[in-house]
Structure 1
Amino acid sequence: MRALLPRLLAPLLLSAGVAGAAPLTVEVRFDLRAVLVNREAPSALSLHVAGGAPRPLRLRGPASVTHPESFGLLLPVRLTLPAAPAGEVSLRGPLFVCGLRERVCRRIELNLPVPVTGGVARVTVTDADLAPRRSLWPGR
């Protein structure tokens, strides 16, 4: 009976992550004031963890009153990983955004590191993260 118990529990421990390892809670927040994320475009953010498959994040929130095709607000996303990764954690993917002031829409390839402190990893996506990258060569 004693030899049978570890065999029965092994698949459960493996599916939950490394035995004895603490889970990691990841929080992604959005503090966007000057841009709207297009709801109808194929924006696709994913959490990338060293040694693991990307974990897609579902973007959701209410529509903008003035631009119903866009999110007026993106709600925070929270997910739990079975164990804290040994390497880097990052938030990556394309976001289709429109600037409220300049009235220009563009595709931004987001790639942000997600700092891990203890059992929590937090990152806040801001307008600065979604600002267009300036070229060193004018006209290009």
Structure 2
Amino acid sequence: MRWSRPEISVHIITTIIVIVTSRVTPGSDPPVNCTVTRAGGRADLTCRISSLLDVVQVTWQRRTGDSYQTLVTRSRRFGVKISKSYENRISAPQTKDLGTSTIALSELEIDDVSCFRIIYNLFPEGTLEGDVCLPKP
């Protein structure tokens, strides 16, 4: 099948429109969907965003008062990095898709009842954030 120049131009323009419309537009960020699963002395915090977005890095933080403490960072280039103060109690199973991220907290204590923030660093869009709170037992 051979295309004439006008047909090729229309095809290229259509492809560009599809690519542009599949990106995040300012003011219309896709949602970050987070869940908590708690069993015994363990809690799994999972967040997901659209798989169409190019996630470069994911950071999990714990809210302590008015500030946030970084617990886990995961990137394609460097893999998973866990804060030394949590490395014995947090695991971050790696998945192929950075758009879905889980951290598992073990040996839960009363002080662990807190809210957590996930920050998705996207290219070229910027960041998306989501919050999830660990309920009291």
Q: Could you state the TM-score of these two structures normalised by the residue count of structure 2?
A: 0.39
More strand per residue: 2
